[in-house]
């Protein structure tokens, strides 16, 4: 997309400095993984010296007070381009969640402030929260992609992380059906119950009705500062 570029670590540090000067409180990092580092298991996601972790450490060294949000999913790291592990043609949920917890811990150890699971596996928010807490990262927040619809709007994002060229099939079996709006509310409530600090509706603009319904749900009312709806 015009004006959107992949950055090296040193360039990312410069952009983080600029963001801090503009009083931007938090930046999000998304990696592009070279094809040679991708495999069926997404192993590079667990490398404590992968591109994301290098960027986190470099940015925190130069701009320690800026917040860093990191995506948690396997699609930037898998050779098949899916967010989870596969057995044959099926995404395997529980085994994927175990890997996502380990990925979250690697990022938290590097200095990430907000973990943002975008994979849409069942139960991953609770598992990540438990894993972070057990490792002493109780201060690390979770922003859950709670309602993430299967959508053609993700084309630029998939190109950015390099998964558009590797994706086998599509992601409709674990991303959400736009025709089933009630499912979004159930997913949001589950993620909040599992410990999410923030929830996201993605893509946001075509689903402002869902954003409104999420915001109005009683689950958000007891603690309006705890439950914040985000759009992307």
In angstroms and rounded to an integer, the radius of gyration of the C-alpha atoms of the chain is 17
Residue 44 has which token pair?
A: 């590079």
* Residue of 60, 61, 165, 202 with catalytic role: 202
Give me the pLDDT at residue 225, please: 47
Residue among 69, 94, 67, 92 at smallest CA distance from 82: 92
* Residue of 148, 165, 171, 226 with catalytic role: 148
Q: Which string of b and e fits 144-166 if b means at least 16 CB within 10 Å? A: bbbbbbeeeebeebbebbbbeeb
pTM for this prediction:
0.86
**Residue 78 exposure: Cα atoms within 13 Å on the Cβ side:** 22
Give me the pLDDT at residue 157, please: 57
Active site residue 60: no
Give me the pLDDT at residue 113, please: 98
Greatest extent of the chain over all pairs of C-alpha atoms, in Å: 49
pLDDT tens, per residue, the chain with 232 residues:
677 788 999 999 999 999 999 999 999 999 999 999 999 999 999 999 999 999 999 999 999 999 999 999 999 999 998 999 999 989 999 999 999 999 999 999 999 999 999 999 999 999 999 999 999 999 999 999 998 887 777 655 545 554 555 676 677 778 888 888 888 889 999 999 999 999 999 888 888 988 888 888 744 455 544 555 555 5
Residue among 103, 93, 98, 210 at smallest CA distance from 146: 210
Please tell me what DSSP assigns to residue 209. Answer: H
* Cα gap 205→231, rounded to integer Å: 7
Active site residue 148: yes
Q: CA geometry: angle at 129 spanning 96 and 40, to 5°? A: 15
Give me the pLDDT at residue 224, please: 44
């Amino acid at each position: 997309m015009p004006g959107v570029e992949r950055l090296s670590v040193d360039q990312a540090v410069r952009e983080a400095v600029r963001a801090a000067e503009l009083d931007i409180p938090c930046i999000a990092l998304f990696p592009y993984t070279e094809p040679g580092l991708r495999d069926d298991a997404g192993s590079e996601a667990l490398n404590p010296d992968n591109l994301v972790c290098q960027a986190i450490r470099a940015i925190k060294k130069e701009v320690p007070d800026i917040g860093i949000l990191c995506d948690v999913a396997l699609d930037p790291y898998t050779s098949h381009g899916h967010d989870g592990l596969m057995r044959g043609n099926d995404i395997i949920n529980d085994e994927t969640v175990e890997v996502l917890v380990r990925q979250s811990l690697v990022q938290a150890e590097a200095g990430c402030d907000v973990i943002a699971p975008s994979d849409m596996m069942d139960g991953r928010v609770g598992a990540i929260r438990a894993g972070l807490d057990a490792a002493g990262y109780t201060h690390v927040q979770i922003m859950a992609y709670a309602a993430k619809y299967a959508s053609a709007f993700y084309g630029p994002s998939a190109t950015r992380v390099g998964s558009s060229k590797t994706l086998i099939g599509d992601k409709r079996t674990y991303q959400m059906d736009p025709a089933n709006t009630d499912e979004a509310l159930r997913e949001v409530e589950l993620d909040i119950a599992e410990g999410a600090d923030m929830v996201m509706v993605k893509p946001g603009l075509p689903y402002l009705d869902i954003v409104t319904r999420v915001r109005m749900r009683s689950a958000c009312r007891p603690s309006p500062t705890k439950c914040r709806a985000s759009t992307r």
